[in-house]
Structures are given as structure tokens and as C-alpha cells.
Amino acid sequence: MYEHSRRMFTALLPLLSAGDDLETKRRLLHHCEVAVRRLGEGEAPGRLTQRLFLEVRPLIGPSDALTALELVERHVNALHHATLRARVAPITRCAGRNRRGRPCGRDAMRGQDYCTSHRDLADATLPPPVARQR
Ligand SMILES: [Zn+2]
């Protein structure tokens, strides 16, 4: 779960209006962590998107609000689907390859295509970071 909130945090970070203010970053990370936990507890993605957006909006410049909403929505939905897959999916073999080009052979993380060593390959298929609108 930690990686999901971290990913959401990293995506929203460039939109912070207060820039490198440490307290603002902490608040953003906190909101992301709480949101991921709420989703795990069964909160509906639509409602969660709305709630998280309202929480992070004061931290973000007005011109980036729409971008923030789209980011929040995409990440909440991606996480929601990952959670659903994880509940029903059997554990499969990792789709990654070792340095010799042979199949990795380790168990993939539940509901995912790659093991912990090859999780970076899975990250490559996530929504791309959004360019700032200036
Ligand atoms: Zn692997």
C-alpha cells in the first residue's frame, strides 16, 4: 500500500503551490496515505476521488486544480482496479527476465505481473506524469 500512496504523492508533488515547503509536502503525503487506506477499507473510488481532491486543493495553485483532479482520479481508479485484481488473482510467475534473458522464475506480487525485483517494469505501464500547464 505504501508504494501506491508514494506514487500518488510523487505525481501530485510538482503541482504544489508552496514549492519545497516541507510542511506542505508532509500534508500532501498524509492525504495520499489516508486516501489509500480508505480505499482499502472499501470507500467508493468516486467518493474518494472527490474527498482527496478537496483535501489537496488548498495545497495546489488554482491554475493546476484541474490537472490535480485528473491525476487524483486516475490514480484512485488505477489503485481501485489493482485492489480488485489483487483480491481475485492467483499468484503467477513474474513476467520479467533475468540478466541472461531467461524468465525470472520468482512469484509475481499478488494481482500483478512482476515480482518485487521487477516491479519497476510494472511502473512503466502506469499513467505517465502530467506535464505542468504554464
Ligand atoms: Zn521477477
Give domain status of residue 69, yes or no: yes
Q: How far is the CA of 11 from the centre of ligand 1 (A)?
A: 25
Residue 131 lies in a domain: no
Q: How far is the CA of 114 from the centre of ligand 1 (A)?
A: 5
Identify the band that residue 19 occupies on the pLDDT scale cut at 50, 70 and 90: low
DSSP state of 106: S
- Count of structural domains within the chain: 2
How close is the Cα of 100 to the center of ligand 1, in Å? 13
Q: What percent of the chain has pLDDT over 90?
A: 55
Answer yes or no: is 134 within a domain.
no
Residue 11 belongs to what domain range? 2-88
Rounded to the nearest angstrom, the distance between the alpha carbon of 56 and the centre of ligand 1 is 35
Q: Quick check: pTM over 0.85? A: no
Higher pLDDT, 44 or 87: 44
Q: Are residues 7 and 72 in the same domain?
A: yes
Residue 101 shares a structural domain with residue 82: no
Q: Do 21 and 41 fall within a single domain?
A: yes
Cβ atoms within 10 Å, residue 119:
16
Residues 34 and 55 grouped into a single domain: yes
Cβ–Cβ < 8 Å for 86, 110: yes
